[in-house]
Amino acid sequence: MGSLIFLGSAFAQGHPSDTIQLKPIKVAPHTYFVQGFPEMGSSANQNFISNAGFVVTPGGVVVVDALGSPILAQKLIAEIKKITPQKVVALIVSHYHADHVYGLQEFKKLGAKIYAQGEGRNYLSSETAKQRLIASRIDFAPWVNANTKLISADVWVDQKTKLTIGGVDFFVSRVGPAHAPEDLMVYVPSEKVLFAGDLVFRGRIPFVGNADSKGWLIALDEIEKLNPNIVIPGHGNYSVKPAEDIAFTRDYLKYLRESMSKAAINLDPFEDAYKQADWSEYEGMPLFRAANRMNAYNVYLSIQAE
């Protein structure tokens, strides 16, 4: 009851009311996903800026990613219950970025076993993770608050792993360091569906952050080798033409590297390189203003470190 009282008082202080709805989209016989907004996280959108998906098996539901706030995870769980009486038995974390993991505690409460890549331990124990959560409790209040915790995995995956739940195989592979050091992708052969996490973005500028852009390009090649029918990206609509949509993320990363490479290697000023680059192909896309300059700068720095 405590959290309900907290939310009530938050509304009284003029916080946004709860109008965010999650609508699962069926993409394969037993596979669904919910699509986040192509925006920056905020109180107004409850940090619903990333996707999550789930597969219903005879032995329980397997969820990929936990969304960006506990309230969103609660809503996802409620939507799953409308579709199946099966319990959520496993949750696989594609990577430990805030918009994918702040809902984890709700799945933990259900008794779901949480799987993530071993490098995620470094993030959880980092000052970055701690400071990000402190900031998020302010930025995304009341939806992320003092009760929101960072949750560790129950199983840390280091090798390519096959999980079989209810007779359905889930191939969990490390593909990092790429977008994050601990990137995982999840392939479900019986559904021909790949959960790609933030290795694939659709309909918005990718978030590069402190990514390993060279590793990311290799990871995209790995995805193509699987030849899935459907790719569920970390952001944007699901893809029925994976090769085309992988090409968008690949071309963007390649262009960042090409436009920053000479200046980075010659130690020329970043500002000059950024101004000389032609961004016209990307300028009209959601989050260009918020993310593109930072992406270019991070790639500029990372090329110097390679």
pLDDT greater than 60 at residue 11: no
Which architecture characterizes domain 2-305 according to CATH? 4-Layer Sandwich (3.60)
- Tell me whether strands 113-117 and 88-92 are parallel, antiparallel or unpaired: parallel
Q: Give which of 44, 35, 104 is closest to 69, Cα–Cα.
A: 104
Supply 262's token pair. Answer: 């000479």
Contact (Cβ atoms closer than 8 angstroms) between residue 41 and residue 140: yes
Residue count of the chain? 306
pLDDT single digits (tens) 78-109 = 999 999 999 999 999 999 999 999 999 999 99
Angle at 135 between CA 137 and CA 234, to 5 degrees: 85
Instruction: Read off the pLDDT band of 25 (50, 70, 90).
Output: very high
Binned at pLDDT 50, 70 and 90, residue 176 comes out as confident
What are the φ/ψ torsions at residue 134 (nearest 5 degrees)?
Answer: -60, -45
Q: What is the pLDDT of residue 157?
A: 95
240-260 average pLDDT score: 96
Report if pTM > 0.75: yes
Q: How confident is the model at residue 262 (pLDDT cuts 50, 70, 90)?
A: very high
Let me know: does 206 contact 256? Beta carbons within 8 Å. no
Beta strands in 85-222 (DSSP E): 88-92, 113-117, 155-157, 161-165, 168-174, 184-188, 193-201
Q: What is the rounded average pLDDT of the residues 27-45?
A: 97
pLDDT tens sequence across 279-291:
999 999 999 999 9
pLDDT of residue 16: 56
Give the angle 83-86-91 at the CA atoms, nearest 5°: 95
CA–CA dist 178, 209 (Å, integer): 11
Q: What angle do CA 133, 211, 22 make, to 5 degrees?
A: 55
Look at the alpha carbons of 234, 239, 243, 248 in this order and tell me if their dihedral is positive or negative.
Answer: negative
* pLDDT for the residue numbered 10: 38
Q: Which of these, 211, 218, 250, lies nearest to 233 by C-alpha position? A: 250
The rounded distance, in Å, linking the Cα atoms of 82 and 76 is: 10
Q: What contacts 190, CB < 8 A, 6 or more positions away?
A: 168, 169
User: What is the DSSP pairing of strand 88-92 with strand 155-157?
Assistant: unpaired
Edge-to-edge strand list for the sheet holding 88-92: 25-28, 31-34, 52-57, 60-64, 88-92, 113-117, 155-157
Cβ(242)–Cβ(199) below 8 Å: no
Q: For residue range 121-169, what is the model confidence (pLDDT) as tens digits? A: 999 999 999 999 999 999 999 999 999 999 999 999 998 999 999 999 9
For the cut 70, the answer to whether the pLDDT of residue 5 exceeds it is no
Give the residue carrying structure tokens 């890549």: 117
Structure tokens at 123: 């993030």
pLDDT given at position 241:
94
Average pLDDT value over all residues in the chain: 94
Per-residue confidence (pLDDT) for residue 40, from 0 to 100: 96
Q: Count CA atoms closer than 13 A to 198's CA, side-chain side.
A: 31
Start-to-end C-alpha separation, the chain: 52
Angle between helices 242-266 and 288-305 (to 10 degrees): 60
> Could you give the residue ranges of the DSSP H alpha helices within the chain?
2-12, 70-83, 98-101, 104-109, 120-124, 127-139, 213-226, 242-266, 270-276, 288-305
d(C-alpha 80, C-alpha 183), whole Å:
25
- In this predicted structure, the answer to whether residue 240 has a pLDDT above a threshold of 90 is yes
